[in-house]
Amino acid sequence: MKSVSKISVFMYFDYREYIRGVLELLQSEGTSLRAIQEAAGVPGSAFFSRILDGSRPLSVANAKILAKSWNLGSEEAEYFLNLVQFGNEKHVDKRECLLKKLLAARASKQEYALQDSALQFFSKWYYPVLRDLLPLVPAGTSAEKIGRFFTPPLRAPQVQSGIRYLTEAGFITCDSNGNYRVTSPIVSTPPRVRSTILRKYHLKNLEINEEVYDSLSSADRSITSVTCSLSKESFEKVRAEIALFRERILAIAREDQNPDRVCHVGFQLVPRAKLKEDAT
């Protein structure tokens, strides 16, 4: 089988997208899909189509066969196998460990280092807050004072490292007068990567809400909830309403001409009891 080195496996967080890219490359060079499968020695007449349409996962055993057939180097093969396990893993903690392996492998590739640094935006609960707070703070304000604006307060080194990260990753810029401005870098990742990264961020924010609850007066917080019975259809309607309300909040924030605080607004829609499992 021809080498597929023209397509770097390190570009991908989704093994199906990588396989699709390899197949398109080989077919563009005149190799039929049937010939690709026969050369690899993988079973089943619709092996690739079933993997690409999501009707079946790629096993680690077959991933090893493909890696050998496509002449992947040792680092490429290891990344591909981790990519397959990451794509198939259901357990969130195991998925997080696999994502760390993928990011560590990409860190040695300079072309992905800056791109991956943007993925760390949600690794600290205070990065998003600091990003929106800095443009509201007068130029020259010390890191120690900025830290005292937070609830709970941050230490000066946390503020300094946060500013450094946000600047290097392109989330903020600073002009010659020391004034910060928010930029909007686009971080495009597959849903599984986003969900893996955001999981700890959401859990940390829930933890912080519990921590600061008693320190905030009723005028400085709004926490409410409702418990109700819903069908699957109504559950999806509520989910859609939350999404719409989120967009309305963002619109209000964009139109605000004189903000003086950075807020975290959370929505939780989770089952507390279910009579039956959802159909799959």
Question: What would the pLDDT profile of 65-83 be if each residue is shown by its tens digit?
Answer: 999 999 999 999 999 999 9
Give the chain's mean pLDDT. 90
Alpha-carbon distance values, 171 to 103, 132, 160, 250 (Å) = 20, 10, 15, 18
Which region among 39-43, 230-234, 246-250 has the lowest average model confidence (pLDDT)? 39-43
Q: Could you give the CA distance from residue 31 to residue 16 in angstroms, rounded to a whole number?
A: 19
- Which is more confidently placed, 31 or 86? 86
- The single-letter code of the amino acid at 42 is V
User: Which tokens sit at 275?
Assistant: 């009579």
Contact 113, 163 (CB under 8 A): no
- pLDDT bin (cut points 50, 70, 90) of residue 190 is confident
Q: What is the percent of the chain where pLDDT is above 90? A: 64
Q: Where are the domains of the chain?
A: 9-107
pLDDT over 60 (residue 280)? no
- The single-letter code of the amino acid at 49 is S
What Rg value do the Cα atoms of the chain yield, rounded?
Answer: 24
**Cα-Cα-Cα-Cα dihedral of 189, 190, 193, 196, to 10°?**
120
Q: So what's the pLDDT on residue 44?
A: 76
- Please indicate, yes or no, whether the overall pTM of this predicted structure exceeds 0.85: no
Q: So what's the pLDDT on residue 186?
A: 64
- Which is more confidently placed, 228 or 112? 228
Q: What is the percent of the chain where pLDDT is above 70? A: 96
Task: Return the closest-CA partner of residue 119 out of 134, 105, 99.
Answer: 99
